[in-house]
Amino acid sequence: DAGITQSPRHKVTETGTPVTLRCHQTENHRYMYWYRQDPGHGLRLIHYSYGVKDTDKGEVSDGYSVSRSKTEDFLLTLESATSSQTSVYFCAISINGNYGYTFGSGTRLTVV
C-alpha cells in the first residue's frame, strides 16, 4: 500500500532462530501496529507503538518484541521462532490511533 511497506514479503525459517520483520512508513503517522492473521481468528494485535520508543503489548504479545527508534520504522522480532508463530503478519499505521488505518501488504512467515 502507498506509504507503508513490509519486508520481507515471504520468509521460511527454522525453529529456534531469531527473526526480524520490518515495517517502514513514509506518512509520518504517530501510531504503528503489528498484527498476525490466522485462519478463524481474524487479525490479532501483537504490539503497537504510539511514538518513538513508546510501545505497548497487544492481545498476543508472548514470544514477540518490538522496537521503534525512528518514526518511520517499526520492527517486530521473534527471539526464538516456534511453529506456532507461522502466520501472516501485517503492519498498520494510523494518524491518531482512532481511525484512518492503512495496512501493509503482509509478510508470510513459515517456521519449520
Partner 1 sequence: GIQVEQSPPDLILQEGANSTLRCNFSDSVNNLQWFHQNPWGQLINLFYIPSGTKQNGRLSATTVATERYSLLYISSSQTTDSGVYFCAVVMGNDMRFGAGTRLTVKP
Interacting residue ranges for partner 1, rule: CB under 8 A: 1, 31, 33, 35, 40-45, 48, 50, 56, 58-59, 88, 90, 97-103, 105-106
Residue linked to cell 518484541: 65
Q: Which is nearer to partner 1, 14 or 39 (CB)?
A: 39
Q: Which is nearer to partner 1, 14 or 40 (CB)?
A: 40
Cα distances (angstroms) measured from residue 53 to each of 11, 17, 37, 71, 77: 26, 25, 25, 9, 15
Minimum distance of partner 1 from residue 48's CB (angstroms): 6
Q: Which is nearer to partner 1, 15 or 41 (CB)?
A: 41
Report the DSSP pairing between strands 73-78 and 102-103.
unpaired
C-alpha–C-alpha distance, residues 104 and 81, integer Å? 22
Minimum distance of partner 1 from residue 67's CB (angstroms): 18
